Amino acid sequence: MRRSMILTLLLFSLSVPATGQGKLAPRTGTLLVATTQLADTRFQQSVILITRHNRAGTSGLVLNRPLGKLPSDLGGSLQTRPQGIFWGGPVAPLQVRALLLDNQQAAGKVLAEGLHLLNADELNAILHKTPLESGELRTYLGYAGWAPRQLAFEIARGDWLVLPVNAATLQQLNPEQMWRTLAPRSEANWI
């Protein structure tokens, strides 16, 4: 508990104000943490890593929804451990993406310090050439997506908090406790 409180304080202290209101603006490599007022049940208590944010819209991966196992039609195509499989979001639910949490690897798209986004081909290539430690690789099916300006509206409405992140922080957070750790204390107390 003490460790998660220290980690939460560290995350909030790293926030760089993007507006006069003291809020961090969403950008590639930041986290979205659902507030308790978010009405969409698919994303309640979600923590999402933004993987793309530009004029065309925003996409990201839900980090804290582990799946029990791979769908049967994907089971033979991936060489990864089932405990590393997560629901990434409702868009393209059979599309495979992975996060590599490692500063030593140069693979995929760099999202933030030590965070690399891999597509299915990049994932298979790295699994064939490099032994990975537990927790360094997380695989996702699907992703979350927003139309242009949709996320800005949801943030202004109070549905999401935006926080900074890096690989070390994600490795220390238990995915199943991630929302409770990152949500503000007043938000988490209602549970």
| Residue pair 185/177 in contact by the 8 Å Cβ criterion | no
For 121, the 3-state DSSP assignment is helix
Query: CB under 8 Å, gap of 24 or more: what pairs does 112-117 form?
Result: 112/28, 112/29, 112/30, 112/164, 112/165, 112/166, 112/167, 113/166, 113/167, 114/166, 114/167, 114/168, 115/29, 115/49, 115/165, 115/166, 115/167, 115/170, 117/51
pLDDT score at 171: 87
pLDDT score at 65: 96
The residue that leads in pLDDT, 130 or 181, is 181
Domains of the chain, by residue range, sit at 2-185
* Tens of pLDDT, residues 48-93: 999 999 999 999 999 999 986 655 555 445 554 434 799 999 999 9
pLDDT band at 124 (very low <50, low <70, confident <90, very high): confident
Is residue 22 classed exposed, middle or buried when 0-12, 13-18 and 19+ CB atoms within 10 A define those classes?
exposed
Tokens 């996702």 map to which residue?
140
Which superfamily does CATH assign the domain made up of 2-185 to? VC0467-like (3.40.1740.10)
**Cα-flanking dihedrals φ and ψ of residue 76, to 5°?**
-85, -10
Q: What is the pTM of this model?
A: 0.80
Question: Nearest CA to 187 among 169, 164, 161?
Answer: 161
- Pairing state between β 115-119 and 85-87: unpaired
Most confident of 13-17, 64-68, 81-85, 94-98: 94-98
